[in-house]
Amino acid sequence: MNFAWPWQLRKAGVLSMNKRNIDYISRYNPRKFYKRVDDKLTTKQLALANHIAVPDLIGVIRAQHEISQLPKMVQGRTGFVIKPSKGSGGKGIMVITHVENGRFFKPSGTEVSPAEMDRHISNTLSGLFSLGGKADVAIVEGLIEFDPVFDGYSYEGVPDIRLIVFKGFPVMGMLRLSTSASDGKANLHQGAVGVGVDLGTGKGLHAVQFNKPIEFHPDTGLKLTNIQVPHWDTLLHTAASAYEMCELGYLGTDMVLDQSKGPLMLELNARPGLAIQIANGRGILPMLQHVESLRGKPMSVEERVAYAKAHFSSTTDH
Amino acid sequence: MQSRKPFYILVALLFILGLGSSIYRGIEHNVPFLPGKQVQSWAVDAKVSFIGTGEPAEVSFSLPQDPAFEILSENASSPGYGLSVTKIDGNRRAIWSTRQAVGQQDLYYKLTLVPSGQDKLIASKTPNTPELYIWPATEKTAAEQVINEAWSRSANNLTFARQLMQTLSARDRSQNVELLLSSNNPTRLFVNMLHDKGIPAHEVNGLYLEDLRRRQQLVPLAEVYDDGQWYLFDVVNGKAGRPDSVLLWERDGNSVLDVVGGYKSQVTFSMLKDTRSALATSIDMMKNQEGALDFSLYQLPLEEQSLFKGILLIPVGVLMVVFLRVIIGIKTSGTFMPVLIALAFIQTTLLTGLVGFLLIVAFGLMIRSYLSKLNLLLISRISAVIIVVIGIIGLFTVLSYKFGLSEGLTITFFPMIILAWTIERMSILWEEEGAKEVVVQGGGSLLVATLAYLAMSATWVQHWVFNFLGIHLVILAMVLVMGQYTGYKLMELKRFKPLAGE
């Protein structure tokens, strides 16, 4: 049979979409703080103010007539990323990895014509990618030189690390690796590989693609559970400190590893998806309830990271 | 976290209020629970005729008040006469009056009746014990013998009456009975005999309703009291109990017709059976009742009523969407777009609607793919898509008219903005996530729209949402309850299957 029984999922501690919306997002995420994460430009400015490392900000395009200034803006750079400030789900992100004589190339090697680039930015400004179609701005960011430790684990894209942070405690993590099936994108529903990561050590635990457990990367054949995410403590620390920055109780943090700068925060998400449970092969609910049951004195970021490492590692039992 | 108790009380209240008011409406106002129900109605014409003497004339005619029938409409036609309907001792009478009545006079009174289903004659108060009837000396012995014989074979008032009636209407009657009947009419005799034993009884006038009958007369019947109810006896035909087709015209022992200033007065009846919609009947009935329609949609002009019939379907569609998204977990593009598409389907019918929708969207996508090459601003692009959609609709309408496909003409019912926005979103989806996602999301939307359409087009649903407004409170309660559902969606049971363990 293709369906699980509800009590089996409840026993496994699987969080459902409805419960996430009612019991976590609407209860722990005050509406007034949403703009801190829904607008990536604001997030970036907040992060800088809180000494959290983020990718370089090359410039911001706010109006249609500024589009023509893009070539000047990215002059001298080998690559850059254009993203909508209010986009969601990775929509509208255009990555240019190669600039040659004013010609732009995507990671796949296909050229982006100036007309296409103009249209993309124009669409972005019109709010095509933003929630509710609100007018938006386009952020031009520096390209991330991603850490070669993931070489062979990701295909044509930047692997990113998603951590769910609940009331400041990192509770579950996963690594998202793009594949040829996902067209270089890191969205699991588009075919990216999700690798559940042990919270205590940063080691790969379990991997899935299209909701099915897999052992090897479909394009490179490397064993996925052998992955060890470097800078794990820094990643946990960065994620945990995002709580102070945006004050959202139930938060998804997306980070990447830059070769020279180390972990960089890409974006925050007030409504992180539930695929992380599948990647980890277990439900997130026990951890959330564990944190809810802590009603002690406020803890510092360091204390929270240490507590999470001690209690939410897959090797420990709750 | 705040207490959930007030919320659940609110939901329960809404539910009970909605269901209660619907049931009240069904029972109290006879609004049928199922659509298309028919009831039979009777049109009865009473013709009062007399010969005027040239003097002022006054005609007093009793009007029926029978709990088994409700009066839907009544009117009188009597040129040259003043008419007033008065209530005397709880009985309605029509009084016609004129200064001068010469020669043959015909007065008409028409009414339309609907069976009310209330066929018991409940006595509003216990009648007094009747005065003893004094038999003439010649009849006394015979009457006593008949009465005592029946009395000995009976157990109570009713069985006594039945025994008496049998004796009086038997085919081979005893000499005693023949003697009594030779000078009395059977109903009067029957009543007198009951009075002899102190049982309340009286004569009433009834009319046997038969389709297409003319020149009918009232027939005398007897009512016998027992234990809070009156029971009907037709002594002439020897039938006890109340036939469906009898209309009691006069029940209180008053005269049916009194004419002052005329002679040879008589009243005859003709009648016609008719079937009509139960719903229309109950609405007409409510119109007769003072205040029953005050805050009702029925009093709106027909055009607004039909508009509301459409609007009131939206809660059903919305309920369907909430259920399919929250409980089942089907993805749709746009939250309530499926409801709007379903509303259009109601105008176009399902198959035509689906074909039309797919045709327009497919054509629109082709044109949109050209527009995307032009590098337009989003707003002007959407506007261009709207104009193009209007063009496509016009083209399809003209084409289907030329080919004689009248279904194609209904394509105009699709909301323009919905189509344009669908085309725009689908086109973006196509560019970003590929054709597969377009099929998945578009298919999901159409599936939800189809299911919402099926729910909204069911005739009994349309009947309920318009005639039982309380049902909307029930829908509201259900939507609120579903908004609290924290369990797994059906699709999540599939999605999270790998986590279920074995």
More confident residue, B338 or B236: B338
A114 CB contacts (<8 Å, ≥6 apart)? Answer: A104
| CB B433 within 8 Å of CB B391 | no
Buried b / exposed e along B425-439 (16+ C-beta atoms within 10 A): bbbbbbebbeeebbe
More confident residue, A244 or A218: A244
pLDDT > 70: percent of chain B: 97
B197, pLDDT greater than 90: no
Q: How confident is the model at residue B127 (pLDDT cuts 50, 70, 90)?
A: confident
User: What per-residue confidence (pLDDT) applies to A16?
Assistant: 92
pLDDT > 70: percent of chain A: 96
CA-to-CA separations, B497 to A7, A38, A59, B41, B444, in angstroms, rounded? 12, 31, 45, 62, 22
Other beta carbons less than 10 A from residue B75's beta carbon = 10
Is B137 in the A-facing interface, judged by CB distances under 8 Å?
no
B450 residue type, one letter: T
Is B487 in the A-facing interface, judged by CB distances under 8 Å?
yes
Closest Cα partner for B150 from B180, B127, B122? B180
User: What per-residue confidence (pLDDT) applies to A241?
Assistant: 92
Transcribe B199-266 into DSSP letters: --EEEEEEEE--TTEEEE--EEEEEEEETTEEEEEETTTTEES--TTEEEEE-SS--SEEEESEEEEE
Lowest mean pLDDT among A136-145, B24-33, B336-345: B24-33
Measure in Å the smallest separation between the Cα of B323 and chain A Cα atoms: 12
Mean pLDDT in chain A?
Answer: 87
Chain A residue numbers with beta carbons less than 8 Å from the beta carbon of B484 are 22
Rounded Cα distance, A177 and A150, in Å: 9
User: What per-residue confidence (pLDDT) applies to B11?
Assistant: 92
User: What per-residue confidence (pLDDT) applies to A197?
Assistant: 92
Measure in Å the smallest separation between the Cα of A283 and chain B Cα atoms: 7
Mean pLDDT calculated for residue range A30-38: 89
Phi, then psi, of B232 in degrees rounded to 5: -95, 135
User: What per-residue confidence (pLDDT) applies to A184?
Assistant: 66
**CA neighbours closer than 13 Å in the CB half-sphere of residue B267:** 24
Mean pLDDT calculated for residue range A290-312: 89
Q: Which helix (H) or strand (E) holds B26?
A: helix B5-28
Mean pLDDT calculated for residue range B160-182: 78
Rounded Cα distance, A153 and A216, in Å: 9
Lowest mean pLDDT among A300-314, B78-92, B288-302: B288-302
Q: How confident is the model at residue B348 (pLDDT cuts 50, 70, 90)?
A: confident
Is B2 in the A-facing interface, judged by CB distances under 8 Å?
no
Dig out the tokens for B246 from the structure. Answer: 């009898």
User: What per-residue confidence (pLDDT) applies to B140?
Assistant: 80
B15, pLDDT greater than 90: yes
Sheet holding B213-216, edge to edge: B69-77, B102-115, B38-53, B262-277, B213-216
Mean pLDDT in chain B?
Answer: 83
Who among B372, B377, B486 is closest to A16 (CB)?
A: B486
User: What per-residue confidence (pLDDT) applies to B220?
Assistant: 84
Helices (H), B57-174: 137-152, 157-169
Q: Which helix (H) or strand (E) holds A207?
A: strand A204-209
A13 residue type, one letter: G
Residue from A2, A7, A9, A65 whose CB has the most chain B CBs within 10 Å, to mutate = A9
B458 CB contacts (<8 Å, ≥6 apart)? Answer: none
User: What per-residue confidence (pLDDT) applies to A114?
Assistant: 86
Is A189 in the B-facing interface, judged by CB distances under 8 Å?
no
More confident residue, B242 or A204: A204
Rounded Cα distance, A87 and A129, in Å: 5
| CB B206 within 8 Å of CB B219 | yes
Rounded Cα distance, B458 and B211, in Å: 35
User: What per-residue confidence (pLDDT) applies to B229?
Assistant: 83
Other beta carbons less than 10 A from residue B190's beta carbon = 26
User: What per-residue confidence (pLDDT) applies to B295?
Assistant: 63
User: What per-residue confidence (pLDDT) applies to B353?
Assistant: 85
A194, pLDDT greater than 80: yes
Is B294 in the A-facing interface, judged by CB distances under 8 Å?
no
A74, pLDDT greater than 80: yes
More confident residue, A141 or B333: A141
CA-to-CA separations, A300 to A36, A107, A241, A283, A308, in angstroms, rounded? 22, 40, 9, 26, 12
Measure in Å the smallest separation between the Cα of A274 and chain B Cα atoms: 10
User: What per-residue confidence (pLDDT) applies to A1?
Assistant: 60
User: What per-residue confidence (pLDDT) applies to B430?
Assistant: 80
Is B484 in the A-facing interface, judged by CB distances under 8 Å?
yes
More confident residue, A207 or B420: A207
Determine if residue A150 is left, alpha or beta; phi over 0 gives left, psi from -120 to 50 gives alpha, anything else beta: alpha
User: What per-residue confidence (pLDDT) applies to B291?
Assistant: 64
Closest Cα partner for A144 from A262, A232, A234, A55? A55
B495 CB contacts (<8 Å, ≥6 apart)? Answer: A211, A278
Closest Cα partner for B331 from B492, B502, B116? B492
What chain B residue is nearest to A283 in terms of C-alpha separation? B499
Closest Cα partner for B145 from B177, B187, B182? B177
Rounded Cα distance, A220 and A22, in Å: 40
Who among B484, B487, B493 is closest to A4 (CB)?
A: B493
The residue assigned the tokens 């430009």 is A41
User: What per-residue confidence (pLDDT) applies to B395?
Assistant: 87
Rg value, chain A, Cα = 19
pTM: 0.72
Q: How confident is the model at residue B294 (pLDDT cuts 50, 70, 90)?
A: low
Lowest mean pLDDT among A54-58, B44-48, B374-378: B374-378
At what angle are helices B137-152 and B175-183 packed, to 10 degrees?
130
A229, pLDDT greater than 80: yes
Phi, then psi, of A203 in degrees rounded to 5: -95, 145
Measure in Å the smallest separation between the Cα of A11 and chain B Cα atoms: 8
Is A282 in the B-facing interface, judged by CB distances under 8 Å?
yes
Other beta carbons less than 10 A from residue B172's beta carbon = 6
Mean pLDDT calculated for residue range B474-482: 94
B157, pLDDT greater than 60: yes
* DSSP SS3 for A151: strand
Q: Which helix (H) or strand (E) holds A120?
A: helix A114-126
The highest-confidence range among B102-111, B152-161, B315-324, by mean pLDDT, is B315-324
Rounded Cα distance, A289 and B1, in Å: 15
Rounded Cα distance, A3 and B359, in Å: 35
| Cβ <8 Å between A3 and B485 | no
What chain B residue is nearest to A133 in terms of C-alpha separation? B378
Dig out the tokens for B60 from the structure. Answer: 């007093």
Q: How confident is the model at residue B473 (pLDDT cuts 50, 70, 90)?
A: very high
* DSSP SS3 for B141: helix
Other beta carbons less than 10 A from residue A269's beta carbon = 18
B387, pLDDT greater than 50: yes
Closest Cα partner for A213 from B500, B329, B440, B331? B500
Provide the number of CB pairs (under 8 Å) joining chain A to chain B: 86
Q: Which helix (H) or strand (E) holds B5?
A: helix B5-28
A166-183 pLDDT tens trace: 999 999 999 988 887 776
Buried b / exposed e along B465-487 (16+ C-beta atoms within 10 A): bbbbbbbbbbbbbbbbeeeebee
A74 CB contacts (<8 Å, ≥6 apart)? Answer: A58, A80, A96, A99, A140
More confident residue, A52 or B143: A52
**CA neighbours closer than 13 Å in the CB half-sphere of residue A97:** 12
* DSSP SS3 for B353: helix
B359 CB contacts (<8 Å, ≥6 apart)? Answer: B392, B396
Is A3 in the B-facing interface, judged by CB distances under 8 Å?
yes
| Cβ <8 Å between B486 and A115 | no
Q: How confident is the model at residue A46 (pLDDT cuts 50, 70, 90)?
A: very high
B54-97 pLDDT tens trace: 888 888 888 888 888 888 788 888 888 888 888 877 788 888 88
Mean pLDDT calculated for residue range B312-318: 92
Q: How confident is the model at residue A318 (pLDDT cuts 50, 70, 90)?
A: very low
| Cβ <8 Å between B487 and A16 | yes
Transcribe B360-392 into DSSP letters: HHHHHHHHHHHHGGG---HHHHHHHHHHHHHHH
